[in-house]
Amino acid sequence: MNQTAVIGAGVMGETLLSGLVRAGRRVDTLLVGEKRPERAAELEERYGVSVVDNVEAATKADTLALVVKPQDMADVLAEIAPALRAGQLVVSLAAGITTSFIESRVPEGVAVVRVMPNTPALVDEGMSAISAGTHCDDVHLTEAEALMASVGKVVRVPEKQQDAVTAISGSGPAYVFFMVESMIEAGVHLGLPRTTAHELVVQTLVGSAAMLKETGEHPTVLREQVTSPAGTTAAALRELEVHKVRAAFLAALEAARDRSVALGSS
């Protein structure tokens, strides 16, 4: 019976754990690595899983999901490496950490998959991109896909694209929230009550996202359907172009990509 361990019981770690439980994983096949007694007790009561220390999790599990901060990855690997063995699968959810970084710190033959998730996983609408390491085969990738599919959609990408993925979907929710925040503030400036502006903007976002997903139309087509000649939308879009919003997005995503590269190299 395949045992899966989640090491790192923060927000994303618990999100993955709860997604696996909702997806039908038996709790007796799930382990959680957590050192804090009060947090361990909370997770055991909430999900009925076994909470152990990281070394025990690494010893017992066939698949380990490392849901830790990039700056903590080296210490966690140093702790669990003596307990790892060839044939195990390590799935890393740490931004910027390469498969080669992990492979150089674990025994030969341990399969490594790199994942870039995002926070909509909290509502089972996550977007995860996965990449295979040196010793990873299709069986390992399929298992990693199954893990992340419990909290949203999954795509496979070459690892060289992971920094771009981080910039687009990993950090992407923050850009959307920033836009929503800005539109709500604009609504208040234009005289709407804040609660009304909030409801208008959020539902407009939800509806627009649904149109993109369900129609399959290119966003340019959908934008043009809203934009009447010399109308209100055209006037607004002209201002966005004057203020170089497209260029700002490109610069912002390049900065996020570069930061992901820096995290990996450090």
Q: What does pLDDT average to over the chain? A: 94
For residue range 69-106, list pLDDT tens digits in order.
988 999 999 999 999 999 999 999 998 899 999 999 99
Q: Where are the alpha helices (DSSP H) in the chain?
A: 11-22, 37-47, 54-60, 73-80, 99-103, 138-149, 162-165, 172-189, 194-215, 219-226, 232-242, 245-265
How many CB atoms within 10 Å of residue 15? 23
Token reading at 211: 């149109």
Per-residue pLDDT at 265 exceeds 80: no
Report the predicted TM-score, pTM, of the whole model to 2 decimal places.
0.89
Phi and psi for 38 in degrees, rounded to 5? -70, -35
Q: What is the pLDDT of residue 195?
A: 98
- The angle that helices 194-215 and 172-189 make with each other, rounded to 10 degrees, is 140
Domains of the chain: 4-157 (3.40.50.720), 172-265 (1.10.3730.10)
